Amino acid sequence: MNDVADIILGGAGYAGLFRAVDEEDAQAGIAAAWDAGIRAFDTAPHYGAGLSEERLGRFLRSRSEYTLSTKVGRLLYDDPFASDGTHDFYGAPKRSRRRDYSAVGVRRSLEDSLERLGLDRVDLLLIHDPDDHQDETLAEAVPELTRMRDAGIVSGIGVGVNDVDVALRFVRETTIDHVMIAGRYTLLDRRAEAELLPECARRGIRVLVAGVLNSGILADPLHRATFDYQPAQRDIIERTQAMERICAKYDVPLRAAALQFARRNPAIAATVIGAGTETEVADTIAMLNTSVPEDLWHELDRCA
């Protein structure tokens, strides 16, 4: 079994992010992660408009001894007019999303998620992308999640965001115990390093790092030049290609260095991987097990 105790399987890939994934391939992908020893899973209502939770739940219902996180902040509604590809998810059910960071919304979100999952509990609830709703979230969602944690309904609470400043506000103004930061601690973007990681370390907050391939460019800068869900700018492409050339000198794939980058920092509790199919999971595990020389890390640090 691989050393994957610090690896979480994210739920966007097998829910159709960027391209549709059918049920058989999705289940094979989740099963491949399980067979590789991964026992931590993250999902969200947003991923595939509930498809991620439904697919993951079908897999986990017959299993035990795993940890599971989902998110609050978006409620789902049946919508016959929903367009395929909304929010870059393909093959999703016809549902619309509505932001809701109220206490009532948090309770309903968890109830709906448990119904889609077919489970009676999740371990961790994360507030999903509260960037434009911070005051409401701090006034309503956070107290409700804190009550849930105190009552033992969930074991942990936190935020899942892409913005370092948003994460820092919640770290400093609440008693959350987890932060999931996406795309801000990678080979290309280390904005979380200066303040967020030290602040979380001082407060004993577990940091989960997601988006370590920056939505594709660190996997393949030639054919997947997407950075933060948008076409990458020329300077980003050039920096990535320079990193790829450095990796090639050591016969190490760029994606291996990208996937392993956060694991080197003791302030990081876990890395969330986005593999969505059996092939992608197998490749990710191989990259996580690829030896990366210390000299290569030093050279990549100079490109940061």
Active site residues: 47
Task: Let me know: does 218 contact 240? Beta carbons within 8 Å.
Answer: yes
Task: Let me know: does 114 contact 122? Beta carbons within 8 Å.
Answer: yes
Sign of CA dihedral 46, 51, 52, 57: positive
Q: How many CB atoms lie within 10 A of CB 54?
A: 19
Task: Let me know: does 145 contact 72? Beta carbons within 8 Å.
Answer: yes
Long-range contacts of 164-173 (CB under 8 A, 24+ apart): 164/191, 164/192, 164/195, 164/196, 166/130, 166/131, 166/134, 167/192, 167/196, 168/195, 168/196, 168/199, 169/134, 170/127, 170/130, 170/138, 170/142, 171/196, 171/199, 171/200, 171/203, 171/205, 172/199, 173/138
CB-based burial of residue 62 (10 Å sphere; 0-12 exposed, 13-18 middle, 19+ buried)? Answer: exposed
